[in-house]
Amino acid sequence: MSETIGYDDFAKLDLRVARVIEARPHPNADKLMLLQVELGDGVQKQIVAGIRAHYPPETLTGKLIVVVNNLAPAMLRGETSNGMLLAATSNEKVILLTVDDPECLPGSKIK
């Protein structure tokens, strides 16, 4: 188990629903995928994620996923990642955390 945190620490995270509008393999990394996501109100971000071995790009487009919206940008193999998607690992399989209700709009805050 991880160290216990207080509510104030958790409240710093800006977790949002995002719609994947494009997914493609990273040109310089075998394990990474480049995702363009929509966060509502015309806001789009690129997220670089280590899910390439687990999801073909064409299966990601249109999915509603959960992202950390306020993570500081990071440069990963020459591409900027402006957030982080949430995923679980189970028996070495990576499983994206998704929203199953299509009425949930991109940009919706996770509380």
- Domain count across the chain: 1
107 found inside a domain: no
CATH number of the domain bearing residue 74: 2.40.50.140
Q: Give the integer Cα–Cα distance in Å for 111 and 108.
A: 9
63 found inside a domain: yes
106 found inside a domain: no
> pLDDT, tens digit, for every residue of 32-60?
999 999 999 999 999 999 999 999 999 99
Range of the domain at 90: 7-96
Q: Give the integer Cα–Cα distance in Å for 14 and 34.
A: 21
Q: Please give the pLDDT value at position 2.
A: 86
Q: Please give the pLDDT value at position 89.
A: 94
Q: Give the integer Cα–Cα distance in Å for 59 and 2.
A: 32
75 found inside a domain: yes
46 found inside a domain: yes
80 found inside a domain: yes
Q: Please give the pLDDT value at position 1.
A: 78
105 found inside a domain: no
DSSP string, 20-89: EEEEEE-TT-TT-EEEEEE-STT-EEEEEES-TTT--GGGTTT-EEEEETTPPPEEETTEEE-SEE-EEE
Stretches where the chain sits below pLDDT 50 are none
89 found inside a domain: yes
Q: Please give the pLDDT value at position 87.
A: 97
Q: Please give the pLDDT value at position 107.
A: 97
